Structure 1
Amino acid sequence: MTPWYERVPAPALLADIVLVVHGLIVLFVLGGLLLTLVGGWRGWHWVRNSTFRLTQLAVVAVVLVQSLRGRYCPLTYWEVDLRRAAGQDGFDVSFIEYWVSNLIYYDAPAWVFTVGYSVFFCCMLLSWYWFPPRLLQRKRYKDK
């Protein structure tokens, strides 16, 4: 029997990896904001970590700017290119692609996503006001 890694074309495997990473980034951003809000109200100190918060904000800013330009997330384009290189089409999908795609991709008009990304970005900015990261918080208190 041929080992699994010899049966999977390299571009298809890379596309699956990109899809999983994409899903994890979505989970990081959505879960991170939820944990920031809950943790801020409960007094968890780690939610004020400036590296964590800046990374989240940067990811959402990139997605929002891409959406306002009428484009998808760069990871989506990368995955599609890898799938095409593997000779895959919409029905030739792996288990990982099927389930992760069903969790993070929805069929809706582009404006719905742009509005959603904008609202989410505003929520992130509000979280910065309500629970400022440590670096910004120290600076704010030094000014007083």
Structure 2
Amino acid sequence: MLYRVLADLVLVVHFLFIAFVVAGGFAAVRWPRLAWAHIPCFAWGALIEFAGWICPLTPLENDLRIASGQAGYSGGFIEHYLLPVIYPGALTREMQIWLGLSVLALNAVAYAWLLRRLSRGARSGR
């Protein structure tokens, strides 16, 4: 039971990390200091996609699932709804590259917006 709960917790953290990588730049527009945490996470997420690596959270989760006696991802809410988002079954190398480029483009927009906002504040004396 404990290993299953830990595996589910790792899955939720993984999902939240991915959401932060994708959308954290826009949160940094609201809270500019957040960029110091987001930029390394965003760089790691993009690197994982471009290099075709596996995030260390994936084998951790799988090891915990095996330790809990699970043979797969069938079962509860977390497995049914979040796993297909984090681990798409038909993920190809080309899709990984496009995902990486999409993350880069989305965050480029967010940080351009942030820089524009900060430069306006500096010009107005804030």
Q: TM-score, normalised by structure 2?
A: 0.72
Does the alignment pair 1:118 with 2:95?
no
1:58-137 superposed matches below 5 A: 58-107=40-89, 108-132=91-115, 137=118
Per-residue deviation, 1:18: 0.7
Over 4 Å off, 4+ runs: none
Instruction: Give the Cα–Cα distance (whole angstroms) in 1 for the partners of residues 22 and 93 of structure 2.
Output: 19
| Structure 2 equivalent of residue 25 of structure 1 | 17
Per-residue deviation, 1:133: 8.3
CA displacement, residues 50-95 of structure 1 (integer Å, 9 cap, x when unaligned)? 3322323322211221223321222222211211222222255433
CA displacement, residues 91-133 of structure 1 (integer Å, 9 cap, x when unaligned)? 5543322222133332221320222122312331232123228
| Structure 1 equivalent of residue 35 of structure 2 | 53
Q: For the aligned residues, what is the CA RMSD?
A: 2.9
Per-residue deviation, 1:25: 2.4
Please tell me whether the aligned partners of residues 48 and 132 of structure 1 are also in contact (alpha carbons under 8 angstroms): no
The structure with the largest alpha-carbon Rg is 1
| Uncovered stretches (5+) of structure 2, i.e. residues with no partner | none
Q: Closer, same or farther in 2 for the Cα pair 1:64/1:126, shift >3 Å?
A: same
Q: Secondary structure at the match of 1:131?
A: helix
Q: TM-score, normalised by structure 1?
A: 0.65
Q: Closer, same or farther in 2 for the Cα pair 1:74/1:50, shift >3 Å?
A: farther
Please tell me whether the aligned partners of residues 50 and 133 of structure 1 are also in contact (alpha carbons under 8 angstroms): no
Q: Which amino acid aligns with 2:54?
A: Y
Does the alignment pair 1:13 with 2:13?
no
